[in-house]
């Protein structure tokens, strides 16, 4: 195990503050100026069950959690049973001795200590923070300050409890781990926060969302900050209402975004097609979870790729792009908002639970975002669907003395319904021109990110799986070329040409290999092997490394 990487895992029942403890741990690490990656694994329930949070940290950039943890704190018996094999070499497991006895690990009477305070087991999370603080030799005063900031309810009791636990655990675990300090303190954000902030930076005016994991936290974040940024954030009656409201808003010139997961997007496809023919700029955040249907709501997968690429009936231009990292999600959301307005067509920011709900330290250049601005009509009489060389009709929004008609029926340039044979093909041709224009535009942009390696083999991946891959390669000191398309529709085949006949290995989280298929069919790539994982869990870097070695 890389001695610089330290992993903390905390497990317990929902409602015991597991995730919060993970996030406070992450902030302790970032206060040591280290990089952090936090992954939360939770079940679709409110109380009980089993949740855990894994936080890995290193002085250098780290792009995944590790399942082998140096310090594990379990609040209950079930957590111990589930994580007994997750203890790293020389790692420690701390368990709740009020619940059970174990031959290994360090037992502390968490329940009886917590019962001395009115909040009882709601304080377990604070206890986990204190155990971590003792184990890494984090000074009590600093720990108390962090607890004060992060747990504003019942501060005095929390601090008393934390100090008590710190002292109880210190003889067994105190100063067990030395964490080298990093270079600078960096903010920690979740993927969905990055997406939300990127959208605001890019010019977002209205956001509509119906709650659905793992996209809900975009709705929550934006609703919380709506007043601050002058946004309208609405939770309507269904995803069908969501997309149609967003389209209505776009008609007035408002930059609209919606967010959902696969099931919700299924309901939106009718409206997605509507955005296609009406040439409505609309950005959909599609955060994938395991399907089909309800699937596994709070876990991760990449099996909606094929769906995203073809969603909605009829021929129209769909732009699909997927961010690889949380940092990139910030820029790409703004970029996609700009693109859908430039090309007046719907687009999808395709991501996964693993990116949406994980958090990591980021260094953001806040100003480096695009700002969505459409081509506007200048003067004279107006036709909404004016035929132009590039297929893009200048826009105009009400109120205007000109009449502006957006139409879901096939229409003439003015926007009036038509069934005329010539006009139907004319308007198809007009819209189709936008694809050529878009490709020419994308050829001047970064659409595929390539890390040049030792040329023995290439790894192709996309979305947040990129982060798992990178961490695995770093851990194993492997140095292949890593090719990650950011844009998936249109697929930048001009960038992939050179890899056609090389040794290509695809890594993705779809049981049927949807990304592999796309690369074969669209880019004509020869694929030697596909490494798939479809158990709802993101890859663990060490396991992934083994699987990469197996196929070499």
Partner 1 sequence: MDDLKTTAEITWCPGCGNFGIFTAIRNAISTLEKMGIKRENIVMTAGIGCHAKIFDYLNLSGFYGLHGRNCSNSEGIKIANPDLKVINFSGDANGLAEGLEHTMFAAKRNQDITFILHNNSVYALTTGQFSPLAEKGWKGPSTPRGSYEQPFNPISLMIEAGATFVARGFAGDIRHLTNLIVQGVEHDGFAFIEVLQPAVPYHNWEEYRERIEYLEKRPETYFEAIKAAKKKHKYTIGVFYRTNKPVYHKELYGYHNPITKKLSKVTRLDKIRKIIELK
- Residues at the contact surface with partner 1, assessed by CB under 8 A: 187-189, 193, 197, 200-201, 203, 205-206, 208, 225-232, 234, 236-238, 240-241, 244-254, 256, 270-271, 274, 278, 364, 366-367, 369, 371, 397-409, 415-417
Min dist. Cβ of residue 459 to partner 1 (A): 31
Angle between helices 140-150 and 155-173 (to 10 degrees): 140
**Alpha-carbon span 339 to 466, nearest angstrom:** 23
Helix axes 18-31, 124-135, angle to 10 degrees: 30
Cβ proximity to partner 1, 48 vs 187, nearer residue = 187
Helix or strand holding residue 293 (H, E): none
Neighbour count for residue 249 (Cβ, 10 Å): 21
Beta strands in 28-162 (DSSP E): 35-41, 48-58, 69-74, 87-96, 106-108
User: 103 or 227: whose CB is closer to partner 1?
Assistant: 227
Q: What is the length of the chain? A: 552
Work out how close the CB of 396 gets to partner 1 at its nearest, in angstroms, rounded to a whole number. Answer: 9
Q: How far is the CB of 209 from partner 1 (least distance, A)?
A: 13
**Residue 373 CA: distances (Å) to CA of 195, 323, 339:** 19, 22, 9
Q: How far is the CB of 71 from partner 1 (least distance, A)?
A: 24
User: Looking at beta carbons only, is 29 or 208 nearer to partner 1?
Assistant: 208
DSSP annotation of 207: E
Three-class DSSP category at 426: helix
Q: Rounded CA gap, 436 and 229, in Å? A: 36
Cis peptide before 399 (omega within 30 of 0): yes
Q: What's the closest the beta carbon of residue 31 comes to partner 1, in angstroms?
A: 12
Exposure string for 532-548, b = 16+ CB within 10 A, e = fewer:
bbbebbbbbbbbbbebb
Residue 269 CB, shortest distance to partner 1, in Å, is 12
C-alpha–C-alpha distance, residues 257 and 252, integer Å: 14
Element spanning 342, H or E: helix 326-343
The distance of closest approach from Cβ of residue 9 to partner 1 in the complex, given in angstroms and rounded to an integer, is 22
Angstrom distance (rounded) from CA 322 to CA 178 = 37
Q: Please, which residue, 402 or 511, has the CB nearer to partner 1?
A: 402
80 vs 349, which CB is nearer to partner 1? 349
Whichever of 71 and 194 has its CB closer to partner 1, that residue is 194
* Between 342 and 537, CB nearer to partner 1: 342
Distance CA 284, CA 302 (A): 16
Across the strands, what pairs with 256? 206
Of the pair 258, 349, the CB lying nearest partner 1 is at 258
Q: How far apart are the first and last CA of the chain?
A: 22
Nearer to partner 1, 179 or 201 (CB): 201
Output the smallest distance, CB 274 to partner 1, in A.
5
Taking Cα atoms as reference points, which of 196, 223, 495 lies closest to residue 369? 196
**Minimum distance between the CB of residue 168 and partner 1, rounded to whole angstroms?**
32
| Tokens, residue 273 | 């097609």
Distance, CA of 229 to CA of 39 (rounded, Å):
29
Q: Which is nearer to partner 1, 155 or 416 (CB)?
A: 416
Among residues 227 and 454, whose Cβ is nearest to partner 1?
A: 227
Q: Would you state the structure tokens that stand for residue 101, as one six-digit string? A: 């006895």
Question: Among residues 244 and 447, whose Cβ is nearest to partner 1?
Answer: 244
The distance of closest approach from Cβ of residue 436 to partner 1 in the complex, given in angstroms and rounded to an integer, is 27
Q: How far is the CB of 399 from partner 1 (least distance, A)?
A: 4
- Read off the tokens for 464: 């947040």
Residue 21 C-beta: closest distance to partner 1, Å: 18
Please give the sequence-ordered ranges of beta strands (E in DSSP) within 79-157, or none if there are none: 87-96, 106-108
Residue closer to partner 1 (CB basis): 273 or 465: 273
Please report how close the Cβ of residue 11 comes to partner 1 at its closest, in angstroms: 25
What's the Rg (C-alpha) of the chain?
Answer: 25
**What does the alpha-carbon distance between residue 238 and residue 245 come to, in Å, rounded to a whole number?**
11
Nearer to partner 1 (CB atom), residue 36 or residue 435: 36
CB of 202 to partner 1, least distance (A): 9
Q: Read out DSSP for 209-255?
A: E---TTTHHHHHHHHHHHHHHT-EEE--SSHHHHHHHHHHHHHTT--
Alpha-carbon distance of 410 to 156, in angstroms, equals 67
Whether the Cβ atoms of residue 303 and residue 510 lie closer than 8 Å to each other:
yes
């Amino acid at each position: 195990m890389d001695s610089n990487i330290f992993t903390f895992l905390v497990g317990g029942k929902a409602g015991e503050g597991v995730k919060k403890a993970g996030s406070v741990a992450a902030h302790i690490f970032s206060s040591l100026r280290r990089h952090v990656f936090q992954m939360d694994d939770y079940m679709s329930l409110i109380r009980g069950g089993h949740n855990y949070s894994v936080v890995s940290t290193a002085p250098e950039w780290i792009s995944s959690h590790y399942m082998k943890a140096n310090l594990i704190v379990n609040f209950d018996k079930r957590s111990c049973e589930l994580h007994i094999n997750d203890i790293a070499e020389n790692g420690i497991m701390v368990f709740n001795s009020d619940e059970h006895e174990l031959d290994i690990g360090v037992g502390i009477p968490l329940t009886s200590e917590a019962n001395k305070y009115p909040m009882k087991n709601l304080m377990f999370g604070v206890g986990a923070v204190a155990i971590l603080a003792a184990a890494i030799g984090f000074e009590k005063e600093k720990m108390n300050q962090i607890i004060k900031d992060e747990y504003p309810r019942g501060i005095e009791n929390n601090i008393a409890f934390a100090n008590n636990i710190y002292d109880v655990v210190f003889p067994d675990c105190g100063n067990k781990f030395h964490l080298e300090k990093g270079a600078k303190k960096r903010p920690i954000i979740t993927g969905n926060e990055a997406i939300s902030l990127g959208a605001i930076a890019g010019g977002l005016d209205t956001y509509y969302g119906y709650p659905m994991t793992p996209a809900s936290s975009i709705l929550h974040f934006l609703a919380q900050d709506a007043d601050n940024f002058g946004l309208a954030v609405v939770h309507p009656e269904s995803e069908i209402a969501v997309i149609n409201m967003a389209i209505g808003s776009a008609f007035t010139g408002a930059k609209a975004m919606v967010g959902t997961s696969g099931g919700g997007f299924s309901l939106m496809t009718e409206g997605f097609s509507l955005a296609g023919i009406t040439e409505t700029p609309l950005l959909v955040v599609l955060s994938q979870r395991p399907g089909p249907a309800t699937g596994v709501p709070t876990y991760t997968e990449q099996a909606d790729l094929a769906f995203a690429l073809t969603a909605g009936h009829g021929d129209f231009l769909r732009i699909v792009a997927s961010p690889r990292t949380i940092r990139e999600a910030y820029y790409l959301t703004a970029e996609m908002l700009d693109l859908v307005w430039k090309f007046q067509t719907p687009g999808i920011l395709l991501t996964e639970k693993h990116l949406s709900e994980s958090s990591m330290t980021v260094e953001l250049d806040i100003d480096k975002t695009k700002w969505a601005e459409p081509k506007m009509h200048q003067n004279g009489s107006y036709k909404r669907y004016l035929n132009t060389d590039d297929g893009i009709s200048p826009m105009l929004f009400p109120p205007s003395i000109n009449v502006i008609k957006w139409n879901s029926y096939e229409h003439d340039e003015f926007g009036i319904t038509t069934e005329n044979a010539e006009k139907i093909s004319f308007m198809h041709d007009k819209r189709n021109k936008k694809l050529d224009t878009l490709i020419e535009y994308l050829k001047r942009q970064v659409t595929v990110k390539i890390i040049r390696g030792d040329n023995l083999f290439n790894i192709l991946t996309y979305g947040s799986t990129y982060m798992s891959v990178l961490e695995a390669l770093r851990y194993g000191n492997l140095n292949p070329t890593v090719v990650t398309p950011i844009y998936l529709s249109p697929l930048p085949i001009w960038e992939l040409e050179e890899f056609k006949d090389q040794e290509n290995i695809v890594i993705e989280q779809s049981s049927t290999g949807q990304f592999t298929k796309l690369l074969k069919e669209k880019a004509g790539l020869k694929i030697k092997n596909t490494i798939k994982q479809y158990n709802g869990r993101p890859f663990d870097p060490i396991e992934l490394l083994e699987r990469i070695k197996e196929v070499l």
